[in-house]
Amino acid sequence: MGMIKEFKEFAMKGNIVDLAVAVIIGGAFGKIITALTDSIIMPIIAMVMGKGGMSEVSFTVGKTIFPVGMFLQAVIDFILIAFVLFIIIKAMNSAKKKEEAAPAATPEDIQLLREIRDSLKK
């Protein structure tokens, strides 16, 4: 019974729940990028290359055929996901810097005390 309790405590830690949410959202995001690549980007590339589709893109060395279309599609998926994540992280860092750079407003009572101090100095 003690092991089940320990596992429950482990599974419910904040970091693990956050990680699980990130993995689920990342998987869904990956599917969106794959759909974008499959339905828009790859047909455009295939049209430009004059092939029937990315699955037909290949090269031959001797008698061996290397079908590289699916690999190229995976590389394009990766580049798109990495680029979008880069943009998101850059925006988050920019927002964080603005938050840190904005000085806290001086409370009114402190401002009044400073004005009194400056008046007394004169």
CATH of the domain at 27: 1.10.1200.120
Give me the domain span that covers residue 15: 2-121
Q: Which 8-state DSSP code applies to residue 51?
A: -
Give the least confident one: 19-23, 53-57, 79-83, 109-113: 53-57
Amino acid letter for position 77: D
Question: How much of the chain, in percent, has pLDDT values that exceed 90?
Answer: 7
Provide the domain count of the chain.
1
Give buried/exposed letters for 45-69 (b at 16+ CB in 10 A, else e): bbeeeeeeebeebeeeeeeeeeeeb
Residue 53 has a pLDDT of 67
Q: Is pLDDT at 92 greater than 80 in this prediction? A: yes
Tokens of 90: 């850059």
